[in-house]
Amino acid sequence: MNAGASNGLRLVFNVEVDEYTPTNDLGSEAMDAGVKIMLHLPSEPPYVKELGFVSAVGQHTYVAMRHAQITSLPLPYTECQKEDTSGYFEQYSLQGCRIECETKAVEKYCDCRLVEQPTGDGFPVCSPNQTHVCAEEILLSVTEGTLVDDVCVCRSPCEVEDYPFSTTNAKLRPNFMERLFRGTSNNFTADYIMDNVAVVSLFYEALNFEVVEQLPEMSLVVLLANIGGNLGLFTGASALTAFQVFEYCFDEGDFQYRRSQKNKNKVGNADVSRLAVRPAEVPMRMGDVRSIMDYDTHDTLR
């Protein structure tokens, strides 16, 4: 198997524009004529009306696709959906979540479900009148987010397999294709081909796939290692050095506390000793001498 347009899948569609039914688009008139295609995994439901690409009638659309696997980190790095919370589908996907939200909204307000919506709650398929009057209006409100009581939050899954693609178009040669269909059950004319036939060629651009894995820029282990390495490189610090600094601060504080307590005890003992010896060491004052002399003179006069 090789890559390239000649090794892919070619599809020829007859859209039968005359069989189109009126819709709510542009005053009950369909705006486009062609087919919508979506590339997805078999385990994921298609959400063609919102995520599909268009192949117009009268043109040949070439779709060059690739295969990519994308893995995102869960909280707190991103808000991707890790666990399966879907009720209608076995595997969680973004389009499956949106289909489920739309289905529940239509069932709630219209008491029915569209024919393309999943079943499981026992609601019948909407009649053409219910589809035109109620269901399409509710789908538009869900898409625009105007239903305040039924806001749907769908997050991208943490593991996604995607098929990115690019498209190119070429105009069909109606006269040549008319000769190809001549003599077959589909006897198309040139005018019919330009108004109703669309050709799509799907092929792989390369037979390899891309793996995109999101990694944290810095984990806790790497952060601690960087901090320790930088401290050791620029300051010569380490865990042992930090412990020694803490031990030094503790010993210095204990020493200063003991020293202050010892000085307080010395001051208290000195005060007590000074009070004990003061009466014997108090010098005689001049007033005391004068009093003694007066006493002696008084005795002499007597």
The predicted pLDDT at position 271 comes to: 56
Q: What value does the mean pLDDT take over residues 27-55?
A: 82
Cα separation of 284 and 105, whole Å? Answer: 113
Say which range, 196-210, 246-260, 285-299, has the weakest mean pLDDT: 285-299
pLDDT at residue 208 tops 80: yes
The predicted pLDDT at position 236 comes to: 64
The predicted pLDDT at position 297 comes to: 46
Cα separation of 236 and 228, whole Å? Answer: 10
Q: Which residue has the higher pLDDT, 211 or 264?
A: 211
The predicted pLDDT at position 204 comes to: 93
As a whole number, the mean pLDDT across the chain is 80
Q: Of all residues in the chain, what percent carry a pLDDT higher than 70? A: 80
Sorting pLDDT into bands at 50, 70 and 90, what band is 116?
A: confident
What are the distances in angstroms from CA 246 to CA 25, 133, 235, 243, 260? Answer: 76, 78, 16, 5, 21
The predicted pLDDT at position 27 comes to: 44
pLDDT in tens, 146-177: 877 767 788 888 888 889 999 999 999 989 98
Cα separation of 174 and 10, whole Å? Answer: 17
pLDDT at residue 251 tops 80: yes
Say which range, 49-53, 98-102, 278-282, has the weakest mean pLDDT: 278-282
Q: Which residues contact 208 (CB under 8 A, 6 or more apart)?
A: 67
Cα separation of 12 and 199, whole Å? Answer: 5
Q: What value does the mean pLDDT take over residues 81-106?
A: 81
Nearest to 30 by CA among 43, 46, 42, 19: 19
Q: Which residue has the higher pLDDT, 88 or 107?
A: 107
Which of 107-116, 175-184, 260-269, 291-300 is most confident?
107-116
Sorting pLDDT into bands at 50, 70 and 90, what band is 293?
A: very low
The predicted pLDDT at position 144 comes to: 80
Sorting pLDDT into bands at 50, 70 and 90, what band is 298?
A: very low
Q: What value does the mean pLDDT take over residues 135-144?
A: 85
Cα separation of 251 and 2, whole Å? Answer: 78
